[in-house]
Amino acid sequence: MNTDTIKRGLICEGGAMRGLFSAGVLDVFLENDIQFDGMAGVSAGATFGCNFKSKQKGRTIRYNLKYAGDKRFGSFESLIKTGDLYDADFCYHVLPTELDPFDWDTFLNNPMRFYLVATDVNTGKPVYHEIKTSGEDELEWMRASASMPIVSKPVSVDGYKLLDGGISNSIPLEFMEHIGYNRNVVILTQDASYRKSPMAGLPVSKMLLKKYPAVYNAMKDRHIMYNGQLDYIRGRESTGDVLVIRPPHPLGISRTEHDTDKLEQVYKCGRQTAIEMLDSVRVFLSK
């Protein structure tokens, strides 16, 4: 391949607190100056992954450990009080502007392009958005990408009503290929044996999502979409066109984990996996 045509992409799956695995990988990348031309994140892959573009090594694990016990940071009390399991004002305004500031200057000066995925609640289809400014709307796009259905209110921004990007496109490798990224590293948060099962509790979910039937239909069929993406990724991996970084075993962590020992363990697993794969990553990106 002519090196002039190579565009190096990074894709980060979501998975709520499983995303700390990806955070560990990304911190090792920062420590070793592993660079990409563009990045796409979904849900936690976006809200945690943005710290890679802002070059804030350690920020993701730091604030997750510090606020793991805070009722505003993933509790049913927050859900009842605000309508969001993760208090929107705390997580997307107070925390990134006051408590552990996000470095917008570095983020915007970093030439790597940053895309995220959200789901249009009216169509059930993915919406792709590139973050180019530091405005309030960009924080709302971040929130939208990680707003889990049923336990989050839809986010209204730029004429859309949006929820979690993982509903409609959990691993946007094909999106990145479509826009020209032809040497892609994919960070998954499930181990190689994982296959998604049909969603449990469909009748209850249908009732709770009666205002958003397109979201319910997407969730009902999500296992088909997700497993198809895994098959596609494995096919691309087998031909050497994609490099995949995944946990060596199931992470054993809940989506809303508050046990700081488990959170740190998952982060360290990501770090160790990345360290072991550093040479392979460098070779892959240099081809």
Nearest to 38 by CA among 110, 94, 91: 110
Which tops the pLDDT comparison, 269 or 255?
Answer: 269
* Beta bridge partner(s), residue 42: 117
Q: What is the pLDDT of residue 156?
A: 97
Helix (H, G, I), strand (E, B), or coil: what is residue 80?
helix
Q: How far apart are CA 12 and CA 22, in angstroms?
A: 7
DSSP annotation of 166? G
Q: What is the pLDDT of residue 4?
A: 60
Q: What are the tokens at 171?
A: 């691993």
Give the residue-averaged pLDDT of 212-235.
Answer: 97
Average of per-residue pLDDT values in the chain? 95
Helix (H, G, I), strand (E, B), or coil: what is residue 240?
coil
Look at residue 1 and tell me whether its pLDDT is greater than 50: no
Name the pLDDT band for 2 (thresholds 50, 70, 90): very low
Name the pLDDT band for 133 (thresholds 50, 70, 90): very high
Q: How far apart are CA 168 and CA 36, in angstroms?
A: 25
* Beta bridge partner(s), residue 156: 161
Spatial CB neighbours of 126, under 8 Å, sequence gap ≥ 6: 117, 118, 119, 120, 165, 168, 169, 172, 175
Within 10 angstroms of residue 56's Cβ, the number of other Cβ atoms is: 19
* Residue type at position 134: S
Tell me the torsion sign for CA atoms 242, 148, 15, 106: positive
Look at residue 3 and tell me whether its pLDDT is greater than 90: no
Give the residue-averaged pLDDT of 44-59.
Answer: 98
Look at residue 287 and tell me whether its pLDDT is greater than 90: no
Q: What is the pLDDT of residues 157-185, one digit of tens each?
A: 999 999 999 999 999 999 999 999 999 99
